[in-house]
Chain A
Amino acid sequence: MILHPVDTILSLVLLSVLFSFGSSRLPGLIKVLAFQGIVVSMVPFFIGHDMNTGGIFFTFGTLLIRGIIIPMSIFIAIKKVAIKREVEPIVGYHASMLCGLGLIVAATYISRQLNIPSISDYKLLFPTAIALLVAGMFLLMARRNAIAMVLGYIMMENGIYLVGTTISIRARHIVEFGILLDVLAGVMIMAIILQNIKRTFDDVDTAHLRTLKE
């Protein structure tokens, strides 16, 4: 059996999921996410349908934003605002890793169940996409640090990007562009909210938000 480039890349993505679950400090987590962003945006090169000049240009653009600009800006942000570097897990690192393994297995199982014919060429594509979505959700739920939650959100967006590139072949650029805009807007909004949380509570620990309850 020949090692398929797409599946190889996707296995790297899955590994990055496990790494992100295990990383305890924000800079490390950001690096993992940057790596994941680069790798995910490279997938369309290897799937390779309609890779004309525009498409290549476009994919590079995605790679730039996903892999470099967003992680860099978050990196600069945590430097500036002097945020705690600890991700403050609710679920511990080892338990998180175990959960990650479990959810990858579950994602594989579910993608078998769904059985979408157009992407059956790449065995790992759909499982990875689902795994990314759920893993992003998991990071959102299981980390108290707001920056870690933003990163979880970005991971979810990566997953959506994968689903988008695989399912919608024809209107790919529109989908990608829409997702990119979403990510940018989302990160911006979160930056503003973070600033406000920071100013109000002197910390970005989201557990403080509990006090806002009626």
Chain B
Amino acid sequence: MNQFFVSILIILVGGFLSLVLARQFKLMKIVAVFSLSAGCFLGLMDAVTKLLHSGSEAVSFKYLNILSLAFQIDGLPAFFLVAIFAVCLLAAIYSFHYMDQSVDAVRTAVHYFFFSILIASMALVVTAANIITFMLSWEIMSLSSFFLVIYNYESSENRKAGYLYFIFSHVGAMFIFAAFGIIYGYTGSFGFGAVDSIPQAAKILVFIFSFIGFGSKAGVFPFHVWLPHAHPAAPSHISAVMSGVMIKTGIYGIVKIYTLLNFHTPLFGNIVLVAGVISGILGIVYALGQQDFKRLLAYSSVENIGIILIGLGIGMIGVSSGNQLMAVLGFTGGFLHILNHSIFKSLLFMGAGMVLHKTGTRSIDALGGLLKNMKITGGAVIIGSLAICGLPPFNGFVGEFFIYIGGFKGVSLDTSAFVMSCFAIVGLAVIGGLALACFTKVIGVAFQGEPRTKAAVNVDEKGSTMLLSMSILAIACVLIGLFPKMIIHLPLKAVSALGLGYGHVSLEPFEQMTANITLAAVIFLVSCLFVIAIRWFFYRGKTITKSGTWGCGFTQPTVKMQYTGSSYASFILDFFRPAAPLEENHPKIKGRFPLKTYYKSHVNDIAEFNMKGVIVNPVLFLFDKLRWIQHGDIHLYIGYILLAIILLLFFI
């Protein structure tokens, strides 16, 4: 446990030092990045060793007999720590060249300060071993990330995003408080030890409350509304951390509550699975409709959270129906997807950050042809996109493959589990197809073709630390996809540490599966290389001419002739019109020689669209009625205090 705390300490000290050194921009960045990454590296090493040796350690501190802080690292926390420290390590390195506006030295320093707190609090959330510690770290995590979201507070859009995030994270925390309150009411202790002794009805209530609370952090539909606003607002490496790992703490919470409750009803699995399928499909549909690169990635996080939940749901159904293999496959697939998603999503956000940094725009339809000048970024983003679509031989495939297999194991079960498994398989397939459409849109429009606006012309990709982080992540995507055997132990250890009545987890079927994946991937790669070799062989000695993309033989081609992202997505969105209403704004074209015209479209998120009518307006109405309490008279305010004191005196 000591190494863990030392790494947390290094991270926090780094954040603090950056405040002290705010005047020396370069020195401050070096110190901050170095200590953040050193701390993360130490923590990563510690977490990996703990996970592989199935070690379990616990520490607790007491202060004044009231406030007791307890921490524990075993399989599940260690697994999440691996993801947290790995992504934060690379994000910290990435930030060195990303934060190069020395005008904003103080703001950058403050950003490092909150970044360090965010890393530390995420690590503490997953290691917390009682309710107080958990909620304390949870709140610190929400607040520190709030300050990072409003990094560019000048823009009112970002302030609105921050406000939305603040409200969502606190309403979510309220639900978690309610769940913990029920637990405390029955057990009378803040510890996690006796949670499974509460009655069954209360267990269901606790699970639903905590699912809403943690789901709003994780970005489960319909509690995801804050996510596509807040993630693009933050600096890109922070978006990478938030999308990559912070929302996973919500998943951690759901899994933790599930294991603590130790109540294997099919209901939980069904809830999680259905929520997963819905957020998966809708998340990717909305992603498809976005024109903002980072917003698109944020919606794609909703989709991936959906995939993770499908995995967990299959695992829970497997546990409740006593099918060991299905349970382990579902949980392992879900956990592996957590790790994988944190890798490729942070990669994609870093790529989007590079594009934003060099072109100054987040709009996909303003870009084009970036691959020509941004070879490494483009290549990394392509790898990340292939991985996020779940295509072999990349890492996204492996996790989804396990979930699929788990789903197919469930098909042989009785009615409800059968229906759910089929639902999951169909859902996963739909999600995969739509994800492919979504990311071909990104690659095709932003990275290929010709530059659509001036912003995308003559870009470069300077910034070695940014390229380094992206390259490492891209290589990780490929390596995990090719040799899943070396990484599969991490989620398997975490799953077996859950201790969910399926006994000892045998490794053999997994070794078999991973070996097959490797074999298939190698065959695929070899055949790819073979095709390339054949091409090279036949084109040898022939002249190859290069011309502009989408030239199509026109003598006077213009970049406006290119296919846009919106038109590419529109016919898929048409099908999902009931769930994703498209708002179009363009004047009717009149006459034979129409003058200049415009076209604007916007895909409405039904959750966000209906939130105003269903929740915001009634709440505002209610609180408008209470406005008389704030009358501005200081004497009556003092009267309120007196009243409160008297009430407390008599009733407590």
Contact = CB atoms under 8 A, between A and B. Distances in A.
B630 A213 contact: yes
A141 B642 contact: yes
B645 to A, nearest CB: 8
B585 to A, nearest CB: 35
A211 B632 contact: yes
Given A141-B635, A209-B633, 4 more contacts: A137-B642, A140-B635, A140-B638, A214-B630
Given A137-B642, A141-B642, A213 B635 contact: no
Interface residues of A, number: 16
A24 to B, nearest CB: 18
16 contacts: A134-B642, A137-B638, A137-B642, A141-B635, A141-B639, A141-B642, A142-B635, A206-B634, A206-B635, A209-B632, A210-B632, A211-B632, A212-B632, A213-B630, A213-B631, A214-B630
Interface string B300-315: 0000000000000000
Contacts of B638: 137, 140-141
Nearest to A134: B642
Contacts of A207: 633
Q: Is the interface of B mostly helix, strand, loop or mixed?
A: helix
Contact of A90 (B630, B635, B641): B635
A90 B642 CA distance: 17
Interface string B620-646: 000000000011111110110110000
Contacts of A90: 635
Interface of A: 90, 134, 137, 140-142, 144, 149, 206-207, 209-214
A149 B642 CA distance: 15
Nearest to A206: B634
Nearest to B649: A110
Contacts of B633: 207, 209-210
Contacts of B641: 137
A210 B631 contact: yes
A151 B15 CA distance: 45
Nearest to A214: B630
A211 B632 CA distance: 7
B637 to A, nearest CB: 9
Contacts of B636: 141
A149 B639 CA distance: 13
Q: Is the interface of A mostly helix, strand, loop or mixed?
A: helix
Most buried by B among A140, A142, A149: A140
B321 to A, nearest CB: 57
A137 B637 CA distance: 11
Listed from nearest, the 6 A-B pairs whose CB atoms lie closest are: A213-B632, A210-B632, A140-B638, A141-B635, A206-B634, A137-B642
Contacts of B632: 209-213
A144 B633 CA distance: 10
Contacts of A134: 642
A61 B588 CA distance: 86
A142 B641 CA distance: 14
Most buried by A among B630, B631, B632, B641: B632
A214 B632 CA distance: 8
A214 B631 CA distance: 9
Nearest to A90: B635
A115 B635 CA distance: 31
Nearest to A211: B632
Nearest to A140: B638
A212 B633 CA distance: 10
B351 to A, nearest CB: 44
Contacts of A206: 634-635
A143 to B, nearest CB: 8
Contacts of B642: 134, 137, 141
A211 B636 CA distance: 15
Contacts of A214: 630
Nearest to A209: B634
A199 to B, nearest CB: 17
A170 B633 CA distance: 41
B633 to A, nearest CB: 6
Contacts of B635: 90, 140-142, 144, 206
A140 B641 CA distance: 11
A144 B630 CA distance: 18
A149 to B, nearest CB: 8
B597 to A, nearest CB: 45
Contacts of A137: 638, 641-642
A112 to B, nearest CB: 15
B626 to A, nearest CB: 13
Most buried by A among B632, B633, B635, B642: B635
A140 B633 CA distance: 12
A141 B639 CA distance: 7
A213 to B, nearest CB: 3
A211 B633 CA distance: 9
Nearest to B631: A213
A145 to B, nearest CB: 11
A213 B627 CA distance: 11
A149 B635 CA distance: 9
A207 B638 CA distance: 13
A163 B602 CA distance: 66
A8 to B, nearest CB: 29
B646 to A, nearest CB: 9
A74 to B, nearest CB: 19
A141 B636 CA distance: 7
Contacts of B630: 213-214
Contacts of B634: 149, 206, 209
B650 to A, nearest CB: 10
A159 to B, nearest CB: 12
A178 B291 CA distance: 60
B564 to A, nearest CB: 45
A134 B635 CA distance: 14
A214 B636 CA distance: 16
A88 to B, nearest CB: 11
A142 B630 CA distance: 19
A157 B642 CA distance: 15
B632 to A, nearest CB: 3
Nearest to A139: B638
A90 B633 CA distance: 12
A136 to B, nearest CB: 10
Nearest to B642: A137
Nearest to A110: B649
A209 B638 CA distance: 13
A179 B630 CA distance: 30
A144 B635 CA distance: 8
A137 B641 CA distance: 9
A90 B634 CA distance: 12
Nearest to A143: B635
A186 to B, nearest CB: 14
A188 B199 CA distance: 55
A149 B633 CA distance: 13
A189 to B, nearest CB: 15
Nearest to A210: B632
A16 B168 CA distance: 53
A148 to B, nearest CB: 11
Contacts of A212: 632
A41 B233 CA distance: 59
B635 to A, nearest CB: 5
A209 B633 CA distance: 7
A213 B641 CA distance: 18
A95 to B, nearest CB: 15
A209 B632 CA distance: 7
A108 to B, nearest CB: 16
